[in-house]
Amino acid sequence: MRISVKAPAKINLTLDVLAKRSDGYHEVEMVMTTVDLADRIDLTLLEDGEIHLECSASYVPVDERNHAYKAARLLQMRYGINKGVQIYIDKQIPVAAGLGGGSSDAAATLRGLNTLWGLDLSLDELAEIGAQIGSDVPFCVYGGTALARGRGELVTPLGAPAPCWVVLAKPLIGVSTADVYGSLRVNEIAEHPETGDMLKAIESQDFSLMCDSLCNVLEEVTLARYPQVRQIKELMRESGADGVLMSGSGPTVFALVQKQAKVHRIYNALRGFVKDVYAVRMLGGSEAEVLA
């Protein structure tokens, strides 16, 4: 028996850091949504209890460090499962890019194994297990659009925002999320997002308010370190993007665009500058689906 699960990338429409906690995590408040750039996870039932993993990208770890592997192992241990799985990850989401690829793979594996191993767990239960793998995994379990609080694991699902195109561009640098958070001085953040305005923009499907409310406090750290990220933002704006922001800890920058004609212009302008450019639809609604 074999099933395939879609693991979409996420972007941050807002990312605020409220405080550094005594447990070392940061208290965050972020609005996230999913876009139609996805890894595909194939799960094949193994009767012997083993977990095997392969990935189309050679630089992704295929042992117990892989987030999808961790997801399978955690489910086995928590529910005493004696079945195993062969996991294949068809990697389409750039790695260490601020697009949550590893988190989404873990979440898709949890959803898929819930079906493959006949566990019948709720999304809330899967999200709780996902929180042990990473702070963004619970959001990825629900998919769609959501407000995430705490260290990211307290997820409130939201409605779909105004439909639009998203052009993503990733310069040829990998950014460590831990380094970026480590360099952030929480008491000296220059501009915090108006998260309430973003929630209003989503609820009323107001595209221009959504663009005006884009804000990520981690930009000031990553932009200061990597001038290419600032250049990509400027190029997107000059080419007619309606809204521009860095996702997560970067370095991927995204442009929100309503008119399809503009999408080509922005895509072509960026292709002259960086190799990794994608023009996709915002998904926005719940995408927690098992494909077959």
| 23 or 63: CB nearest ligand ATP | 63
Which of 39, 42, 105, 136 is flagged as catalytic?
136
Active site residue 42: no
CA distance 290 to 183: 39
CA distance 51 to 88: 11
Q: Does 105 bind ligand ATP (CB under 6 A)?
A: yes
Residues 186-225, mask of contacts with ligand ATP (x by CB under 6 A):
----------------------------------------
> Which residue, 45, 121, 135, is CA-closest to 82?
45
On the CB side of 279, CA atoms within 13 Å amount to 18
CA distance 203 to 31: 12
Q: Does 67 bind ligand ATP (CB under 6 A)?
A: yes
> Which residue, 233, 141, 245, is CA-closest to 198?
245
Q: Does 134 bind ligand ATP (CB under 6 A)?
A: yes
Q: Does 136 bind ligand ATP (CB under 6 A)?
A: yes
Residues 230-249, mask of contacts with ligand ATP (x by CB under 6 A):
------------------xx
Q: Does 68 bind ligand ATP (CB under 6 A)?
A: yes
Tell me the catalytic residues: 10, 136
Residue numbers at the binding site for ligand ATP (CB under 6 A) = 60-61, 65-68, 89, 95-103, 105, 134, 136, 177, 248-249
